[in-house]
Amino acid sequence: MSNITEVVNLVENKLKILLENYIFLKEENELLYNKITVLENQIVKEKQLYDEIENKHQTLKIAKTIEGSKEDRRETKLKINALIREVDICINQLSE
């Protein structure tokens, strides 16, 4: 009988340990999911900032090219033509 009691006590102790580990891991998992959410939001904000800076950089390059010298005329014409094509595409999409 004593042997059965020891086995039951051992099983209870192991079960308590498992339950404590489960609770700990569940809380840690929740914290990690929260951290993932925060980091994903930060990534989205950083990407938006990057896109905004990239657009400003492109605008500045175009402005410098338009302002530029005779050497930059060909590049300026190509960029203006590309912008015109983009505007035409947008107009076509809006008219559909």
What is the structure's pLDDT at 92? 86
**DSSP structure class, residue 96:** -
Cβ atoms of 65 and 72 within 8 Å: the answer is yes
Q: How confident is the model at residue 71 (pLDDT cuts 50, 70, 90)?
A: low
- Give the C-alpha separation, 10 to 70, whole Å: 89
SS3 content of the chain, % helix, strand, coil (to 5): 95, 0, 5
What is the structure's pLDDT at 62? 75
Tokens of 3: 């042997």
Please tell me the total count of domains within the chain: 1
- Residue-range definition of the domain harbouring residue 68: 2-95
pLDDT digits 0-9 by tens, 27-57: 999 999 999 999 999 999 999 999 999 999 9
Cβ atoms of 75 and 65 within 8 Å: the answer is yes
Full-model pTM: 0.54
